[in-house]
Amino acid sequence: MTRYALTLEFDGRPYMGLQRQKHGPSVQEAVETAAKAVSGEDVTMVAAGRTDAGVHALAMRAHIDISKSLTPFRLGEALNAHLRPQPIAVTDCQIVDDDWHARFDCLARHYRYTIINRRAPLSWQKGLAWQVAKELDAQAMHDAAQLLVGLHDFTTFRSAHCQSQSPVKTLDRLDIVRDGDDIHCEVSARSFLHHQVRSMVGCLMMVGRGDWSESDLKDALDAADRHALGLNAPPDGLYFVKADYPDEG
């Protein structure tokens, strides 16, 4: 049995999420189906993180185990052939140690949330970003975001369906950067709660719009109560950017 580490890029719009679902298509199901077509074996994919319906990935890491002898290049090419025309691509495939684990060995996960701040409707970016028409103060959003960096109880920013054992997480980075009409929210941590990034971005958008102050954001954090949440951003603008592992640059 050989363990292969995969790097996946996908458009999340057609899927109910990354993880296999009973009520609709998933990225995991698509990759596992492709892997079975290639190998003739029942294959289980384990990913670095989970993504909700409509959330995208630039470089999601995952692993699969296959007993059939295949070079990484051949496996990657074959998976892509069977995944077409779905919007999923294996951009890298490597053989790793048998005990390498895409989820448990991950040291940090990085996300980006993209807001397009303009009045004109979205064309090709519809479903790939969150459009906010009213002018946003990105600097105010960034300054307020620093209140969320560090070790906190993030219950306010946690979905009621979150399965994490504890709402306490350490947020390593939350930077808000404007580039023309685009506002990028760059977020990093070892792990996240369900909906944490979307909930933080939603509240920061309210700060940028002038509906909330920094004090309002701090009060929401300190409340440790989901009812104190201002807004949960839609999944459209959220991207899993990359995962960090030991001994990888």
What pLDDT is stored for residue 63 in this prediction?
A: 98
Q: What is the pLDDT of residue 109?
A: 97
90 and 113 co-located in one domain: no
Distance CA 29, CA 103 (A): 17
Do residue 61 and residue 157 come from a single domain?
A: no
Parallel, antiparallel, or unpaired for β 56-66 and 168-179?
A: unpaired
Residue length of the chain: 249
pLDDT in tens, 152-197: 999 999 987 777 889 999 999 999 999 999 999 999 999 999 899 9
Q: Is residue 19 part of a domain?
A: yes
pLDDT of amino acid 160:
78
**Torsion over CA: 158, 163, 166, 171 (sign):** negative
pLDDT number for residue 86:
97
Active site residue 182: no
120 and 230 within one domain: yes
Query: Do residue 148 and residue 177 come from a single domain?
Result: yes
Question: Which residue segment(s) compose the domain that 15 sits in?
Answer: 2-96
CATH code of the domain covering residue 115: 3.30.70.660
Is the same domain home to 49 and 134? no
pTM of the model as a whole: 0.94
pLDDT of residue 249: 59
Q: How many domains does the chain have?
A: 2
87 and 128 housed in the same domain? no
Q: For the chain, list residues with pLDDT below 70.
A: 249
User: Which of 52, 179, 182, 216 is flagged as catalytic?
Assistant: 52
Reduced to 3 states (helix: H, G, I; strand: E, B; else coil), residue 19 is: coil
Residue 103: inside a domain: no
How far, in Å, are 21, 46, 82, 84, 218 from residue 110 at the CA level? Answer: 24, 18, 28, 27, 23
